[in-house]
């Protein structure tokens, strides 16, 4: 249960000999924005994955740049470890600006 698996990858890959591997596609929608996950697709290799991603995920001008990553190369945190991973951050409100009270009339803070 603790083996790292890609976030959205098959829990138990039912691989067949001829099936092309799965790739995760990240698209930058315009300059200045980060690449965000758009979806996935199958391709025999990186070059084709990139082209398939272009054809599939940017056919309505959704992007200016694409990353493709083999799904099997993504290491994800486990939902089982959600508490140990993410809860400790929950009780540290002093990391947020709203934690601090500033008198009325003080600006630019």
Partner 1 sequence: MTNLTRTPALALGDDALILSHRLGEWAGHAPVLEEEVALANIALDLLGQARILLSLAGDEDELAYLREERQFCNVQLVEQPNGDFAHTIARQLYFSLYQQLLFDHLATGGSELAPLAAKAVKETAYHRDHAEQWTLRLGDGTDESHTRMQRGLDALWRFTGELFEPVDALDAPWQTLRDEWTTRLTTVLERATLTVPQGPQHGAWTAGAGRQGLHTEPFGRMLAEMQHLHRSHPGATW
Partner 2 sequence: MTTIAPEESALEAVFDATVAADERIEPRDWMPDAYRSTLIRQIAQHAHSEIIGMQPEANWITRAPSLRRKAILMAKVQDEAGHGLYLYSSAETLGTSRDELLDKLHTGRQKYSSIFNYPTLTWADVGAIGWLVDGAAITNQVPLCRCSYGPYARAMVRICKEESFHQRQGYELLLALSRGTEAQHAMAQDAVDRWWWPSLMMFGPPDDESAHSAQSMAWKIKRHSNDELRQRFVDICVPQAEALGLTLPDPDLSWNEERGHYDFGPIDWTEFWEVLKGNGPCNAQRITRRRRAHEDGAWVREAAAAHAAKHGKADR
Q: Which residues bind partner 1 (CB under 8 A)?
A: 20, 41-44, 47-48, 51-52, 55-56, 59
Residues that bind partner 2 (CB under 8 A): 1, 5, 7-20, 22, 39-42, 44-48, 56, 59-60, 76, 78-79
CA distances from residue 73 to 5, 7, 24, 28, 92 in whole angstroms, order as listed: 9, 10, 10, 20, 32
Coil vs helix vs strand at 22 = strand
51 makes contact, choosing from partner 2, partner 1, none, with CB < 5 to 8 Å by partner type, with partner 1
- Least Cβ distance, residue 7 to partner 1 (angstroms): 22
User: Which entry of partner 1, partner 2, none binds 88, CB below 5 to 8 A by partner kind?
Assistant: none
Which residue in 1, 41, 3, 44 sits closest to 20, CA to CA?
Answer: 44
Nearer to partner 1, 35 or 54 (CB): 54
Strand order in the sheet with 36-42: 36-42, 22-28, 65-70
């Amino acid at each position: 249960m603790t083996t790292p698996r890609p976030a959205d990858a098959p829990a138990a890959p039912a691989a067949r000999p001829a099936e092309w591997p799965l790739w995760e596609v990240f698209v930058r929608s315009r300059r200045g924005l980060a690449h965000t996950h758009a979806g996935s697709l199958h391709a025999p290799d990186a070059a084709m994955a990139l082209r398939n991603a272009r054809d599939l995920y940017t056919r309505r001008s959704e992007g200016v740049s694409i990353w493709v990553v083999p799904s099997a190369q993504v290491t994800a945190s486990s939902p089982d470890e959600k508490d140990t991973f993410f809860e400790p951050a929950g009780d540290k409100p002093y990391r947020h600006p709203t934690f601090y009270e500033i008198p009325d009339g003080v600006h630019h803070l």
